[in-house]
Structure 1
Amino acid sequence: MAGMSYTILVADDEPAIRTMLEVILSADGHRVVAAADGKAALEYLRDHTPDAMLLDVQMPHMDGFEICSRVKRIKRLRDTPVLLLTGFDDDHTRDQAKLVGADDIVYKPLSGKNLRGRVNQLVEARRR
């Protein structure tokens, strides 16, 4: 549904990917908060509750799986949709994503249209 504006936390250690995600998601009017690593993402989450999170699986200090598993243990954040970003389309990655409670996996290279649709779908489902 157009017109809804969400705050989306994007955590990725690649500046080019952060920028691309920001461009894709802000085109729908969403506010994107970018974090360069897992530590920065958790610092933001200490005081904020975004509408959704996009977490890169592979980051220095703390990977997307670890952030997701921590987020899902925090009552205030538990229902926030988490999409994991990864270049690995394999069983291990899917199993790990399920284990930590991720809501969806988005594979790189990213399709902007696909990503926007999945983010909107997950957030709207939570709001009903």
Structure 2
Amino acid sequence: MGGMAYTILVADDEPAIRTMLEVILSADGHDIVAVPDGKMALEFLKEHTPDAMLLDVKMPFMDGFEICSRVKRIKRLRDTPVLLLTGFDDDQTRDHAKLVGADDIVYKPLSGKNLRGRVNQLIEARRR
């Protein structure tokens, strides 16, 4: 591999999924910051600019859609790729994701290889 090591923010309220995402994404040597809810995601984003974000759509305090729409309104974070994570593969979810400016949607159950490829692709596209 030997690509760059990126910082990826992962927000999901299910510990098992957080752990799985950390394992999948750190396989490429990335630094993963995993938080259990939207409030903590925003706290982290106040101080840091990650290379990508993976946000669960359904979380306590604030859902992934809401975080994404806030992120896209902040100049410093606007170009950071946001992937929304959801168990719902339907038009409503897709439309909502588009509306808030998400860069991609990842459906559960996750395919690790597919996810790693998409995350790396989105980050690298932004860096060109």
Whether TM exceeds 0.5 here: the answer is yes
Q: Structure 1: which 5+ residue stretches go unaligned?
A: none
After TM superposition, list the pairs within 5 Å mapping 1:1-128 onto structure 2: 2-128=2-128
CA distance in 1, matches of 2:97, 2:3: 30
User: 1:120 is aligned with what amino acid?
Assistant: N
Rounded Cα–Cα distance in structure 2 between residues aligned with 1:3 and 1:107: 25
- Structure 1 CA distance for aligned equivalents of residues 20 and 31 of structure 2: 14
Unaligned runs of 5+ in 2: none
Deviations 1:53-101 (A, max 9, x none): 0000000110000000000000000000000000000000000000000
- Tell me the amino acid that sits aligned with residue 11 of structure 1: A
SS in 2 for 1:88: coil
Give TM-score, length-normalised by structure 2.
Answer: 0.99
Q: 1:21-68: CA deviations, max 9, x gaps?
A: 000000100000011100000000000000000000000110000000
SS of the residue corresponding to residue 61 of structure 2 reads coil
* 1:105 match: secondary structure: strand
Deviations 1:92-111 (A, max 9, x none): 00000000000000000000
Identity within the alignment, %: 88
- Measure how far apart 1:3 and its partner are: 2.2
The one-letter code sitting in structure 1 at the alignment partner of 2:48 is H
The whole-number CA distance in structure 1 between the counterparts of 2:82 and 2:17 is 17
**RMSD, aligned α-carbons:** 0.7
TM-score (norm 1): 0.99
Alpha-carbon distance in structure 1 between the residues aligned to 2:85 and 2:95: 14
Q: Count residues in correspondence.
A: 128
| Alpha-carbon distance, 1:14 to partner | 0.3
